[in-house]
Amino acid sequence: MQIDTKTGLLTTAEHCITDCYNERPDGAPISLLVIHNISLPEGEFGGPYVKQLFMGELDTALYPQLKIAEGLEASTHLFIDRDGKVMQFVPFHKRAWHAGRSSFQGQAECNDYSIGIELEGTDTMPYTDAQYQVLSEVTQQIMQAYPMITGERITGHDTIAPERKTDPGPAFDWTRYFELL
């Protein structure tokens, strides 16, 4: 597992590059890693809907539960499913649309300078051993490729947007994750 810093791609990921991203602002070094969770519909795993959402192809008319994502333009750099499989939607050096209105340590617009990783899960369901293992391996590669990302600059979506987000939630074991690093 490596990151090709020229292409911004993780060599072992399935590459599903979306159109839902843009360029980072000039002078915005990559310096933050944000951990998220997602499941569509909420609490259901393994279906095609998360990939469809990040590819901009989600048909929200299929299920009433998907209406929450109607009109949403969202993306992430990486998605790690329950089995530890990694999909990459946005090259790391590009700006994914994962954080929304956000701020970290007084610096607004986290999408400008962060990498986002979505874990297939919910705030309240334990994450899998495979997810922790792969997340820690990916994080090590990210920290090596982007040295401004340190342990102090890894956070959850709930920290950068606390008034509107709760993920990765209380089920995410931060201690276990940091011990694996």
* Catalytic position from the list 118, 120, 152, 163: 118
The residue segments making up the domain with residue 119 are: 3-16+28-180
CB atoms within 10 A of CB 5: 13
pTM for this predicted structure: 0.95
138's tokens: 């990916």
Q: Does 70 participate in catalysis according to the annotation?
A: no
160-178: per-residue pLDDT in tens?
Answer: 999 999 999 999 999 999 9
Into how many domains does the chain fold?
1
3-class secondary structure, 129: helix
**Residue 91: which CATH number?**
3.40.80.10
Do 46 and 125 meet the contact criterion of CB atoms below 8 Å apart?
no
The contacts of residue 165 (CB under 8 Å, 6+ apart) are 100, 157, 158
pLDDT 10s digits, 143-156: 999 999 999 999 99
Indicate whether 174 belongs to any domain.
Answer: yes
Mean pLDDT of 49-77: 78
Domain membership flag for residue 138: yes
| pLDDT, tens only, 122-135 | 999 999 999 999 99
Domain presence at residue 48: yes
| Contact criterion met (CB below 8 Å) for 52 and 58 | yes
